[in-house]
């Protein structure tokens, strides 16, 4: 089976989360990746197709559709896969409609992919992707949302996100005392809501020893630094900026006891899986598909209030005052590596492709 994959994504995310399990599927002979620029060369089964980029305008996406139709004929494509709604999901869906080739849609950011941008955009997104042959989601909340919007449950498949294999293997590593009590690892924008964490730290700083590391960059970084000064917690926080190097990421997670996500909206962040794989205890807001892997009080903690810091502060105090609880929950968090893998996702793809071929 020849696959046309329409996606942008970073090279790391594309390789780890999408290409690696696809290439392990027994059905896949070759993957042709349609995007504006080439990516990492994995093996001889991946070819990057990058049409000449003549402008930054949306017109280039129309050219990409035209090129995609041509590639489908040239490379004898059997199935088209699009990742994320805008624009690559739309591009892939258009190519599928023009060639009558089955289209599979991958969501990786949860149901917010559909409704972010308002009611009109939500209705359009739902109408377009309801016609996909198969749609993959990262968890049960997104599945339930789509079913509530009239999607056929039989066409929806849960396909978990995946971290780099180095994180999956990290629980075999020797570890010492962890330097940081809390780690935040994400884009720094209003949706990520990291100010809530800073306010929670301000609440507990006099009750227990706490050291926080904030990794990431974004438009809210300067505001967070100002907030830290205003709350008089600057001495408790290390802002380390954007981290891209794999070894640096591993070192930060392995040096941290608790991973916190305060997002107001989320899909299934890979950072959560990375942190759990490294033994960080997750304390996360109850949004998106995050809670699919968290059993509150067993392998992590879930809080509901993303506007007031009191509930989050309570979770952090409970953990920081009980080392035995942290150690026990950490061991349970590490078990995430037993339930997700490239091989298990490849098996999910095998089932998807079997259904596609059965209908042809």
Q: Which pLDDT score is estimated for 55? A: 55
Q: Which residues, in sequence order, are CB contacts of 83 under 8 Å at separation 6+?
A: 5, 6, 7, 8, 9, 18, 89, 106, 108
Domains of the chain: 2-162+341-358 (3.40.50.2000), 165-338 (3.40.50.2000)
Q: Is the pLDDT of residue 236 over 80?
A: yes
Q: Which pLDDT score is estimated for 265? A: 86
pLDDT average, residue stretch 243-258: 95
Biggest distance spanned by C-alpha atoms of the chain: 67
- Name the band, by pLDDT with cuts 50, 70 and 90, for residue 360: low
The pLDDT tens digits of the residues spanning 31-60 come to 999 998 888 877 789 999 987 655 566 678
Q: Which residues, in sequence order, are CB contacts of 191 under 8 Å at separation 6+?
A: 263, 264, 265
Q: Is the pLDDT of residue 171 over 70?
A: no
Q: Is the pLDDT of residue 330 over 60?
A: yes
Q: Is the pLDDT of residue 125 over 80?
A: yes
In the structure encoding, which two tokens stand for residue 75, read together?
A: 């490379």
The pLDDT tens digits of the residues spanning 52-110 come to 655 566 678 898 999 999 999 999 999 999 999 889 999 999 999 999 999 999 999 88
Q: Which of 293, 303, 290 is nearest to 335 (CA)?
A: 293
């Amino acid at each position: 089976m020849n696959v046309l994959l329409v996606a942008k994504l970073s090279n790391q995310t594309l390789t780890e989360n999408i290409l690696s399990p696809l290439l392990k599927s027994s059905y896949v002979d070759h993957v042709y990746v349609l995007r504006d620029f080439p990516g990492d060369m994995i093996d001889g089964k991946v070819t990057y197709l990058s049409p000449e980029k003549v402008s930054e305008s949306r017109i280039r996406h129309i050219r990409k559709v035209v090129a995609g139709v041509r590639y489908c004929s040239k490379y004898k494509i059997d199935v088209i896969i699009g990742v994320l709604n805008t624009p690559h999901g739309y591009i892939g869906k258009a190519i599928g409609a023009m060639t009558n080739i089955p289209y599979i849609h991958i969501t990786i950011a949860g149901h917010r992919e559909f409704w972010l941008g308002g009611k009109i955009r939500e209705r359009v997104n739902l109408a377009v992707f309801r016609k996909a042959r198969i749609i993959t989601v990262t968890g049960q909340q997104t599945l339930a949302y789509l079913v509530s919007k009239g999607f056929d449950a039989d066409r929806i498949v849960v396909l978990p996100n995946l971290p780099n294999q180095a994180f999956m293997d990290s629980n075999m590593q020797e570890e010492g005392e962890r330097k940081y009590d809390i780690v935040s690892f994400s884009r720094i924008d209003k949706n990520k809501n990291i100010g809530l964490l800073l306010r929670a730290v301000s609440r507990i700083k006099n009750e227990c020893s706490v050291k926080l590391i904030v990794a990431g960059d974004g438009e809210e970084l300067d505001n967070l630094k100002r907030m830290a000064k205003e709350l008089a917690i600057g001495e408790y926080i290390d802002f380390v900026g954007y981290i891209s190097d794999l070894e640096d990421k591993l070192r930060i997670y392995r040096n941290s006891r608790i991973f916190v996500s305060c997002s107001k909206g989320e899909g299934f962040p890979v950072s959560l899986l990375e942190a759990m794989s490294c033994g960080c205890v997750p304390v996360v807001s109850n949004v998106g598909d995050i809670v699919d892997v968290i059993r509150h009080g067993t392998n992590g903690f879930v809080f509901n209030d993303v506007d007031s810091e009191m509930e989050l502060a309570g979770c952090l105090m409970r953990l920081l005052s009980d080392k035995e609880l942290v150690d026990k929950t950490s061991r349970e968090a590490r078990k995430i590596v037993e339930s997700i893998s490239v091989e298990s996702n490849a098996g999910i793809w095998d089932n998807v492709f079997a259904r596609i071929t059965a209908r042809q």
